[in-house]
């Protein structure tokens, strides 16, 4: 069975291969005992082709630098920072959804339309005066049903996932058109859903969320260090916690400043609600992948399905369940899509939504070949793919080598996103060649 990718951050070589629990038999002998040893181990893994999330992190740094230099007043503004995080949210959620099937070496081309159908079900139920909780439950049941249907066709019938989900693009799109009455639009009749992406916490509550987040992160790092029996040096734990404090503190401070336009009737302050919601989803789904037998089985099947089957894993059932989970999480992504524009129409989840979601997972470090990936990959990749249209839109028309180029055009944005996905896929393929 192949191992999952390690963190892009500095981590000791003895961490478990499948998100997991137990160290190897030689952990106490092989593990680095200080920060220098951990750094040396990380460099060794990078040279061996295990790049993890490093390309995505570097891409974020480079894109921020380029767009920040090109348009410092607009791109580096507090308003654009908050808008950028909101723009990335739906792509990140759907990317987290498709991660489950990508870990198996499968793909779900219809996840975007699953999100659209779930969002439409939610909107139409609310329009028919359903309470929020029953409407949300119905939306999730429909998303689950779509995921189970896909999983059944792949796992039980034996049709390749590419073919099934390609057919589902048409099938689910037809369902979406029927729900929204062809070219119509259904407004979201719920303040809670509308605030999911567009709302913000108060500055005080934002600091509470930030402090709780840092405390939970510190606890998780300390627990991992204890479980490693000293294989993870405490100096590395303190470094990670220090970076988290600085990063989360800086983000919270910036978001707590007024980001409304000058002369606006009201101030806009506080952390967008979508940030803690995404954080909770990442923590829960990361726990599922890294701390449960189900998650370990996903990695095992993605690494070598035949070996996993011989080890007693029900591969068919696992494949079906992975598509079901993808459907449910994609359905939640539909809520984010609906919340962003406060409505649902025939284009919700369509166009480039799915391509960006799959691209986000891959760019973040999830392998298209299965067996390697984490939830944080979806977040990092989603930030990269959200940065590209956000920054290019602000650059606008610019003269390059004597030619006038409109960087805000859809054509340029698609080309840039496609090149980013192609580069990430190339890195994945080349790194696998180096590790085999």
Pick the residue with more confidence: 239 or 4?
239
pLDDT for the residue 31: 53
| Contacts of 114 by beta carbon, 8 Å cutoff, 6+ apart | 108, 143, 146, 147, 172, 326, 327, 330, 331, 334, 349
pLDDT in tens, 77-86: 888 888 888 8
Structure tokens at 270: 């506080």
CA separation for the pair 271, 248 (Å, rounded): 11
pLDDT in tens, 70-114: 888 888 888 888 888 888 898 999 999 999 999 999 999 999 999
User: Tokens for 160?
Assistant: 């390749």
Boundaries of every domain in the chain: 82-199+272-378
Instruction: Give the pLDDT mean for 265-272.
Output: 87
End-to-end Cα, the chain, rounded Å = 13
Give the pair of three-digit tokens for residue 133. Answer: 């909780």
In this prediction, residues 278-289 reach a mean pLDDT of 93
Q: Residue 212 pLDDT > 70, yes or no? A: yes
Q: Please state, in angstroms and rounded to a whole number, the distance separating the CA atoms of residues 410 and 358.
A: 19
Weakest-pLDDT range from 273-287, 344-358, 374-388, 395-409: 395-409
Predicted local confidence at residue 26, as pLDDT: 37
Number of H helices, E strands in the chain: 18, 4
pLDDT at 435 over 60: no
Predicted pLDDT at 17: 41
| pLDDT band at 278; cut points 50, 70, 90 | very high
Q: Report the mean per-residue pLDDT for the chain.
A: 83
pLDDT tens for 126-156 read 988 899 999 999 999 999 999 999 999 999 9
Tokens 């496609």 correspond to 418
Burial of 179 (0-12, 13-18, 19+ CB in 10 A): buried
Q: At what angle do helices 54-70 and 410-435 cross, to 10 degrees?
A: 150
State the DSSP string of 34-96.
SHHHHHHHHHHHHHTT--TTHHHHHHHHHHHHHHHHHSHHHHTSHHHHHHHHHHHHHHHHHHH
Does the pLDDT value for residue 316 go beyond 70? yes
CB-based contact 86:42 (threshold 8 Å): no
Q: Give the number of C-alpha atoms closer than 13 A to the C-alpha of residue 369, restricted to the C-beta side.
A: 17
Q: Which of 348, 331, 335 is nearest to 193 (CA)?
A: 335
- The span from the CA of 231 to the CA of 168, in Å, is 47
405 forms bridges with which residues in the sheet? 398
Q: Per-residue pLDDT tens for 293-314?
A: 999 999 999 988 889 899 999 9
pLDDT tens by residue, 14-68: 333 433 333 433 343 445 556 677 677 777 766 666 666 777 888 888 888 988 9
C-alpha to C-alpha distance for 246 and 69, rounded to whole angstroms? 23
Alpha-carbon distance of 99 to 333, in angstroms, equals 13
Buried b (16+ CB within 10 A) or exposed e, 319-344: bbbbbbbbbbbbbbbbbbbbbbbebb
436 has a pLDDT exceeding 90: no
399 forms beta bridges with 404
Q: What is the mean pLDDT of residues 372-401?
A: 85
- The first and second tokens of residue 2, run together, are 């192949």
Q: Give the model confidence (pLDDT) of 176-202 as tens digits.
A: 999 988 667 888 888 899 889 988 999
> 13, 11, 9, 18: which is closest to 373 by C-alpha?
18
Position 431 confidence tier, pLDDT thresholds 50, 70, 90? low
Q: Could you tell me what percent of the chain has a pLDDT over 70?
A: 86
SS (H, E, C) 115-144: HHHHHHHHHHHHHCCCCHHHHHHHHHHHHH
> What's the CA angle centered on 70, arms 393 and 51, to 5 degrees?
85
Q: Residues 6 or more apart from 144 whose CB is under 8 A from it? A: 324, 327, 328, 331
The Cβ of residue 385 has, within 10 Å, a number of other Cβ atoms equal to 29
Tell me the pTM. 0.84
Q: For the segment 223-255, what is each residue's pLDDT rounded down to a tens digit?
A: 888 887 777 788 888 988 999 999 999 999 999
| 363 token code pair | 């760019």
CA atoms within 13 A on the CB side of 103: 36
Say how many CA atoms lie within 13 Å of 322 toward its Cβ: 32
At residue 251, the 3 state secondary structure works out as helix
Residue of 99, 146, 51, 16 lying closest to 431 (CA atoms): 51
């Amino acid at each position: 069975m192949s191992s999952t990718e390690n963190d892009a951050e500095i981590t000791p070589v003895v961490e478990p291969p499948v998100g997991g629990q137990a160290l190897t038999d030689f952990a106490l002998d092989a593990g680095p005992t200080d920060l220098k040893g951990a750094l040396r181990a990380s460099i060794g893994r990078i040279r061996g082709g295990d790049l993890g999330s490093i390309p995505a992190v570097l891409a974020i740094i480079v894109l921020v630098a380029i767009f920040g230099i090109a348009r410092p007043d607009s791109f580096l503004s507090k308003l654009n920072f908050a808008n950028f995080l909101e723009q990335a949210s739906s792509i990140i959620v759907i990317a987290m959804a498709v991660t489950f099937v990508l870990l198996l070496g499968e793909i779900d081309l219809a996840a975007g339309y699953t999100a659209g159908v779930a969002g439409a079900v939610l909107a139409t139920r609310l329009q028919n005066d359903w309470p929020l909780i029953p409407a949300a439950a119905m939306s999730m049941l429909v998303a689950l049903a779509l995921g189970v249907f896909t999983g059944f066709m792949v796992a039980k019938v034996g049709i390749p996932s590419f073919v099934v989900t390609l057919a589902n693009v048409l099938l689910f799109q037809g369902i979406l058109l029927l729900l929204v009455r062809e070219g119509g639009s259904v407004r979201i009749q719920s303040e809670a859903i509308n605030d999911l992406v567009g709302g913000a916490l108060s500055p005080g509550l934002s600091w509470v969320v930030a402090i709780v987040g840092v405390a939970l992160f510190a606890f998780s790092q300390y627990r991992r260090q204890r479980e490693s029996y000293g294989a993870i040096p405490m100096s590395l734990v303190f470094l990670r916690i220090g970076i988290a404090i600085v990063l989360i503190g800086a983000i919270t401070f910036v978001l707590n400043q007024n980001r409304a336009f000058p002369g606006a009737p009201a101030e806009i302050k506080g952390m967008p609600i979508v940030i803690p919601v995404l954080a909770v989803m990442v923590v829960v789904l990361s726990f599922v992948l890294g701390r449960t037998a189900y998650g370990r089985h996903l990695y095992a099947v993605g690494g070598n399905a035949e070996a996993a089957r011989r080890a007693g894993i029900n591969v068919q059932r696992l494949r079906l369940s992975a598509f079901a989970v993808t459907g449910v999480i994609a359905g939640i992504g539909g809520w984010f899509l609906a919340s962003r524009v406060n409505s649902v129409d025939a284009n919700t989840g369509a166009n480039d939504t799915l391509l960006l979601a799959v691209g986000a997972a891959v760019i973040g470090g999830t392998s298209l070949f299965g067996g390697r990936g984490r939830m944080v990959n979806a977040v990092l990749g989603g930030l990269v793919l959200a940065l590209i249209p956000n920054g290019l839109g602000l650059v606008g028309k610019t003269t390059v080598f004597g030619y006038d180029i409109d960087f805000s055009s859809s054509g340029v944005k698609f080309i840039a996103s496609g090149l980013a996905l192609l580069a990430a896929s190339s890195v994945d393929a080349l790194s696998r060649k180096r590790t085999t």
